[in-house]
Amino acid sequence: MQQPATGYPAPPPYNNHNGAAPQYPYAAPPQYYNPPPPRSYASRSFFRAFFATMICLAVIFGVILVITWLVLRPSLPTFTLTTLSLSSFNTSSQSLTGTWRLTFNVRNGNNKLSVNYNALRSSIFYHSNYIAESNLAPFKMDTKSEANLNATFSAVNAYLDSRVVDALNGDRSKGSVPFDVQIVAESSFRSGSWRFRTRILKVLCRKIDLGISSNSTSGELIGGYRDCQVWT
């Protein structure tokens, strides 16, 4: 049978000698991808729990400290300078020599707390100009107790600026010289087995007038006892 003319060549005849159905190309099936494993939140949960526990412990510890502080009501000890004497005193153009002896009355007014003092160091100054220092023996004070603390300062040709020496001699000509005395110590409060942390205790006695004339080498405290400033 003659094919109608279409302007295109006729396709070649399909020869299937085996009688099988014709084969057609097909698309490959999509590849199966396993989903990513779920992220583990175990480590994050652990850190959250750890920090929450630490915060709770810190809060509990702070509350315990506050309650203990309110119950015990610790107060700083008081220091009162009771005696001060000077001997072998002499000055030159840029130096000073002398021996100072003084006594403090120390009082612990706490009803439930004792106080330990360690590493005590005392110094003496003239208008903030250092003259000499002395290390003091450690001691302990029971509740509601008093103690005397003695200190001795010795200076032999200790250097002072000439202007400072002139000012000191000017005060000396007026009959008295003011000195400052300072104590620095490690202190800790204790109640039975409970002990508060160690603090640096500072004591300052300002402008302690020492009676001494221009032609004298010794002097004594004037004006009576002096209460000192105490802080930590």
Q: What is the pLDDT of residue 212?
A: 94
Distance (Å, rounded) from C-alpha 169 to C-alpha 171? 5
Distance (Å, rounded) from C-alpha 204 to C-alpha 184? 9
Q: What is the pLDDT of residue 15?
A: 56
- For the chain, residues with pLDDT lower than 50 are 1
Distance (Å, rounded) from C-alpha 52 to C-alpha 139? 43
Q: What is the pLDDT of residue 4?
A: 53
Neighbouring residues of 188: CB distance < 8 A, sequence distance ≥ 6: 115, 116, 118, 195, 196, 197, 198, 199
Please choose, from the candidates 133, 135, 137, 159, the residue with its C-alpha nearest in 3D space to the C-alpha of residue 148: 137
Please choose, from the candidates 68, 124, 90, the residue with its C-alpha nearest in 3D space to the C-alpha of residue 214: 90
Q: What is the pLDDT of residue 36?
A: 62
Q: What is the pLDDT of residue 178?
A: 97
- The residue type found at 26 is Y
Q: Where are the beta strands (DSSP E) in the chain?
A: 78-91, 95-108, 114-126, 129-136, 139-141, 145-159, 176-191, 194-195, 199-211, 219-221, 226-227, 229-231
Distance (Å, rounded) from C-alpha 125 to C-alpha 178? 9
Q: What is the pLDDT of residue 96?
A: 95
Q: What is the pLDDT of residue 56?
A: 87
Q: What is the pLDDT of residue 35?
A: 61
Q: Where do we find the tokens 């930590």? A: 232
Is 0.85 surpassed by the pTM of this model?
A: no
Residue 20 φ/ψ, nearest 5 degrees: -85, 155
pLDDT in tens, 175-209: 999 999 999 999 999 887 778 789 999 999 999 99
Q: What is the pLDDT of residue 8?
A: 52
Q: What is the pLDDT of residue 119?
A: 95
Please choose, from the candidates 190, 184, 195, the residue with its C-alpha nearest in 3D space to the C-alpha of residue 142: 190
